[in-house]
Structure 1
Amino acid sequence: MQVRSRAVFSTIRTEGSLLPADLLERVAKADKELGGLRPVEDYYLAPGEKLGEAASRSWQRLLGFWSAFKAKKDALLGNEPATTLTRERWLLPLFGELGYGRLVGAAKAVEVGEKSYAISHFWQQTPMHLVGCGVGLDTRTAGVAGAAKMSPHSLVQELLNRSNMYLWGFVSNGLKLRILRNNVSLTRQAFVEFDLESMMEGGVYPDFALLWLLCHQSRVEAEKPEECRLEKWSREARQRGTRALDQLRKGVEEAIACLGRVVGLEILDALKKVENPFAMEYIVEKKK
């Protein structure tokens, strides 16, 4: 079942069942039962430092970076990809605030079989494809590395699907940021998207706080990708959904059984009033 939600967070939407809306709400509310939301042990903050305080400081610093980046972006002429501008003035500072340090560009394209994937950056086993604000995430852009043969989104998604080394990844053009995961479905997309432009321009701090919690370096850190916190949260969402469906199925079965008993009694009562040998035979059989 495909799920799409923009109701709770105005600049965030989730496609598919990767990290559904109810899971995002639990993260935003710091649900202790979810796990992985301790400031010191899970996000590596200083003793006594709160998650909200750390996110707020990052927000304040990034407002300045965004303002400077936007001024440069608005001054661009024509259809420039603006790759260097977007990375240096905005995306690298953003990921720096999320705990990744200063990301270094990939030395070469990743080879999987006979196909190469020109992913711009990596953090350990997490591909992070950062393109310019003049490059669409869902369209090919001629002459732009990492966007010429495939759209940036498709490039990262196909790499995640074909390689056993990578499970989660990020793709961004500075205006939007998406979290992606290996997705077995060939017809339905699955990702979480943050509308960075609307978020920063509208001053939507609550949405940024959730971005900070979901995209922080600690969410993808693990010896094996399948052990990272994002994967644990995604697995919890799937299990929770399965339990809910099981409960719903049980409730429906009980309701049908109850309805069957009621209808059966009404039929027997009606047959008693009918002078028909076949009807009487049916009643006798039901009483056995």
Structure 2
Amino acid sequence: METKKVWFVTGASKGLGLVLVKKLLANDYHVAATSRSVESLIKEIGNASDSFLPLEMDLTDNENVKATIAECIAHFGQIDVMVNNAGFGLIGTLEELSDSEVKTNFDVNVFGSLNVIRNILPHFRNQQSGHVFTISSIGGYMGNFPGFGIYCSTKFAVAGFTEALAEEMKPFNVHTTLVYPGYFRTNFLSKDSIRTAASPIAAYKSARELEKAHLDEINGNQPNDPEKAADVLITLSNEENPPVHFFMGKDAYHYAKQKLELIQHTMAAYETLAGSTEISNN
């Protein structure tokens, strides 16, 4: 009888992370779940057991991340699938957001994800197997949303290093999947989850309109079901050759196709000018 995989899921006390953990446990997987507050995990899911390990982890502290991963391995003996899910949204134009606000978003969304990857890879390399899921966003592929430039840039960064990671891990039989979700009906856009500029500038009307639309209209009306997203991630984890790039949701496909068409059109229109830079051998 095949032993169920051990999953390590960050940002698991709410949203997609929480839905995924509950789904995994219901399907008899072993799960280590992390959050900034272990009490929130215990409240939502329960106490530690043979199949579940709630862990308090500070993503921005590399040594704490290292110790947390070691605790998981000590409890379950291994890790087979890691889901880099933790992160938060930030709304504000480039001019509005302070250096501190920007750095905080990068510390969690980018450097926090790197801390987890850095400390789990030695384990995956040694066992010659594993699967890294990195949750980006459709905003990590298409960034033309006024007021979302910094958040999108964190997800572009995540996408960039995950593409490189996929190549680096091939010799070790470790799979890497970069997930670009569209809008899912979680609490991601709720006022206690997403952050907005501390010093907004009234002149940025389009950014304020998009901000208001996300907080007051899109929030609670997102078209995608996180329960189904969890099913998709489990399905991908069981594929022999899972994709490196995975757009999740019809809306994600819509936006991705828009950008692909724009790039193809622009490249075709400017191919002659772009190619004019080549050094001539004459």
TM-score w.r.t. structure 2 length? 0.29
TM-score w.r.t. structure 1 length? 0.29
Task: Compare CA radii of gyration and give the structure with the larger one.
Answer: 1
